[in-house]
Amino acid sequence: MIGIIAAMDIEVEAVKKYAQISHSEEIGGCVYHYGTMFGKDIVLCKSGVGKVGAAICTTILCAKNKIDMVINVGTAGGLLVEEQVLDVVISDHVVEADFDTSPLDGEEGIGLQWSVNQEMVSRCIEAAKKAGARYHVGTVASQDIFMEREEDFKKLMSRFPKSACSEMEAGAVGHVCTNFNVPFVIVRGLSDNVHHHENSMEFSEYASKASEQSARIITEFIKG
């Protein structure tokens, strides 16, 4: 069974229209839709925004079901000048960027980092090509912050200069999947870019379209 995790309704609905859902249930504030996509068993999950909700959702998903892989899908903010809104970022690495025990542990206490499944990354790249989407492969940085302030951007990039996008769930998904030994990958459509002025307004305009972009990639991934 393939687990697909998204944070918001618009992200879930973008995927749901490609699936045949048989039943749904709510556990711990998270919603799980069971069904199939292109003949493969899936469970499509709505976690809510933020790392705590994503951790709860992923833990229940992996503990309750026999999950072969997890795809975390949805929107993110671009961090690179060359990125455009509605481009797609595919993770080659995930970091919980706001984890910081450096007063006790020094540099090793900055960030928790998780390795994604490289075969899934390769499949996502091929899926992006089939979908005709502009894509970038890089580090997905998770922190419970919507990237709007210049100081937040500078702090993140000084610590994790390979970051390609910023969002609020992937680090928790990676953390839990690693603990459960479940392979995972992150796919994000860019709804905004930190280098553009007033990217919160950009997010409001493009979140739905960015959700559709990432959904197209994972449908091609699952279609095989």
Angle CA(217)–CA(218)–CA(224) in degrees, nearest 5? 95
φ, ψ for residue 190 (rounded to 5)?
-85, 115
User: Is 96 labeled as catalytic in the residue annotation?
Assistant: no
Assign residue 28 a region: left if phi > 0, alpha if psi is -120 to 50, beta otherwise?
left
Catalytic-role residue among 98, 167, 192, 202: 192
User: Is 11 labeled as catalytic in the residue annotation?
Assistant: yes
Pairwise CA distance, residues 219 & 224, whole Å: 8
Catalytic-role residue among 11, 96, 202, 220: 11
Angle between helices 170-179 and 51-64 (to 10 degrees): 30
Q: Which residues are catalytic?
A: 11, 192
